[in-house]
Amino acid sequence: MLRRVYLAAAVIAMVATPAFADDTCGPMPIGPAIPAASDLSGKAVEVQRAEVLEAYHQVKAYQAALKPYRGCLATQDEADKAQIAGWNPKKDAEKIAAANQRIADRLKLNDQSVDAESQVATDFNTLHTAECATDTDPKICPKK
């Protein structure tokens, strides 16, 4: 009797682990609010540089936060794929379908993080380009 209880507990733990594992990555990091290019107009060049530099540091911190998040998603995917490889396609069809759905959901999260990062990069580049319209320092705004 005890053996069955332990076996049932082990099976439940194995089946439930992937469901809990999805939460281990936490929420997707939130990108910084990049000032609009129009926010620079009328400001001194030094103030513009400071704002662009601050935005640059925020973008870099955001990108650094995305790396472990995406790594966690990939680790979870690999864990699900490893489980799928050990399952019988006929007997474990429901578990395989659930694992494949989790993988698909994580792929969507990864794609959303890439889209968000691209938007932040585009916003920063727009800001930097606007700043370079008035900044003549070749170290900050090299002319092509």
Q: Greater confidence, 141 or 117?
A: 117
Residue 32: exposure state from Cβ atoms within 10 A (0-12, 13-18, ≥19)? middle
- pLDDT, averaged across the chain: 85
pLDDT band at 10 (very low <50, low <70, confident <90, very high): very low
User: What is residue 5's predicted lDDT score, i.e. its pLDDT?
Assistant: 36
User: What is residue 104's predicted lDDT score, i.e. its pLDDT?
Assistant: 97
**Domain coordinates in residue numbering, the chain:** 2-132
Residue written as tokens 């060049």? 45
pLDDT band at 144 (very low <50, low <70, confident <90, very high): low
Q: Greater confidence, 104 or 136?
A: 104
- Span 61-92, pLDDT tens digits: 999 999 999 999 999 999 999 999 999 999 99
Assess contact for 69 and 29: CB atoms under 8 A: yes
pLDDT band at 102 (very low <50, low <70, confident <90, very high): very high
Q: Compute the average pLDDT of residues 94-102.
A: 96
User: What is residue 23's predicted lDDT score, i.e. its pLDDT?
Assistant: 63
Report whether pLDDT(20) > 50.
no
Whole-angstrom distance, CA of residue 78 vs CA of residue 45: 49
